[in-house]
């Protein structure tokens, strides 16, 4: 069986914790720390359940400096700036992930998706399978034979067949699918009037976005409601679709460590108690960390 690398979409789980509970915990400076506490529970549970030998946690630091902003200046322009308290907690979450032995991936031009995709590409060259820990549908395009996507808090796990059931397209078509439908979360325009069902029909029939655009005249003869108007929109908005495709594709050449050994999970930092003190963690979290460290110590 292939060795496994677990690649975590850290920003997703920090934001879930931020929005999922009120600021009811504070650090040593009196600043909110609830997102760090929620993220710690998530990451400890992941490590306890999966016992990953290779673990990387990626965080977004490119919210307005991604290479995608050069392609489309309005990319993610619909998102308000992160509050200072959230940015502060992101820093603590990175420190916590590193203290628990994970490799931490950040970059100012590449997003967490790209860092995960690039780390997976590195690991695959050395015979690894990937488990991408995230609920984000964008990651479907990275799933190959043997890979999985996993959202532990919701106890959901799916492979390439699961992506087909969820989106109606194969993993290698996910980026094209998103280029057709657009993505309101990231402010990617797509083709107006094309939703999930129509995008799946087009990709099932033609195979790829390029083929859809090259054979747009044939779309009018397909048997689905609005086929003629869809053909017209595809001809008129082909440039927008191609630009959207440049945004939806996950980069596989981001600057990440170039050997799988760099992602081997390390021992828990002997000084982790200093961090736990600063963030006002209670006895339950401390006992979980001690138990984990003890279970991983050499006999």
DSSP 255-288: S--SSGGGGB--PPPTTHHHHHHHTT--HHHHHH
In a domain, 166, yes or no: no
Q: Span 272-289, mean pLDDT? A: 96
Per-residue pLDDT tens for 1-45? 899 999 999 999 999 999 998 888 999 999 999 999 999 999 999
Residue 165 domain flag: no
Give a yes or no: residue 68 inside a domain: yes
Domain co-membership, 130 together with 193? no
Residues 12 and 111 both lie in one domain? yes
- Count structural domains, the chain: 2
Could you tell me the CATH number of the domain that includes residue 185?
A: 1.10.150.20
pTM for this entry:
0.96
- Whether residues 20 and 65 share a domain: the answer is yes
- Determine the Cα–Cα distance for residues 237 and 215; give it in Å rounded to an integer: 14
* Residue 118 and residue 78 share a domain: yes
Question: Are residues 98 and 31 located together in one domain of the fold?
Answer: yes
Residues 177 and 72 in one domain: no
Structure tokens at 274: 């200093």
Co-location of 278 and 255 in the same domain: yes
Q: Which residues constitute the domain of residue 266? A: 4-160+250-296
Q: Are residues 12 and 102 in the same domain?
A: yes
Q: Are 170 and 207 in contact (CB under 8 A)?
A: no
Is residue 292 included in any domain, yes or no? yes
On whether the CB atoms of residues 219 and 230 are closer than 8 A, the answer is yes
Per-residue confidence (pLDDT) for residue 64, from 0 to 100:
75
Instruction: Give per-residue pLDDT as tens, 113-125.
Output: 999 999 999 999 9
The chain-wide mean pLDDT, for the chain, equals 96
If asked whether residues 180 and 117 sit together in one domain, one would say: no
Residues 204 and 240 in one domain: yes
Q: Do residues 88 and 44 both lie within one domain?
A: yes
State whether 12 and 112 are in the same domain.
yes
């Amino acid at each position: 069986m292939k060795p496994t690398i677990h690649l975590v979409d850290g920003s997703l789980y920090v934001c879930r914790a931020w929005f999922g509970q009120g600021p009811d915990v504070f650090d040593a400076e009196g600043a909110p720390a609830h997102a760090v506490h929620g993220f710690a529970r998530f990451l400890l549970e992941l490590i306890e359940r999966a016992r990953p030998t290779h673990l990387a946690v990626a965080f977004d630091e490119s919210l307005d400096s991604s290479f995608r902003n050069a392609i489309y200046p309005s990319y993610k322009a619909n998102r308000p700036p992160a509050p200072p308290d959230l940015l502060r907690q992101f820093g603590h979450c990175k420190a916590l992930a590193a203290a628990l032995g994970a490799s931490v991936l950040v970059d100012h031009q590449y997003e967490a998706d790209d860092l995960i995709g690039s780390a997976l590409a590195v690991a695959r060259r050395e015979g690894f399978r990937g488990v991408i820990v995230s609920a984000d549908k964008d990651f479907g395009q990275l799933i190959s034979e043997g890979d999985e996507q996993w959202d532990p808090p919701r106890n959901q796990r799916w492979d390439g067949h699961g992506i087909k059931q969820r989106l109606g397209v194969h993993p290698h078509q996910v980026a094209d699918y998103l280029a057709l439908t657009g993505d309101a979360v990231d402010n990617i325009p797509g083709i107006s009037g094309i939703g999930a069902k129509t995008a799946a029909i087009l990709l099932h029939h033609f195979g790829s976005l390029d083929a859809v655009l090259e054979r747009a005249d044939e779309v009018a003869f397909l048997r689905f409601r609005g086929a003629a108007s869809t053909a017209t929109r595809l001809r008129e908005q082909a440039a927008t679709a191609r630009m959207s495709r440049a945004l939806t594709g996950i980069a596989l050449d981001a600057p990440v460590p170039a050997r799988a050994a760099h992602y081997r999970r390390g021992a828990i930092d002997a000084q982790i108690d200093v961090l736990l003190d600063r963030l006002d963690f209670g006895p339950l979290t401390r006992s979980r960390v001690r138990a984990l460290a003890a279970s991983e110590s050499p006999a």
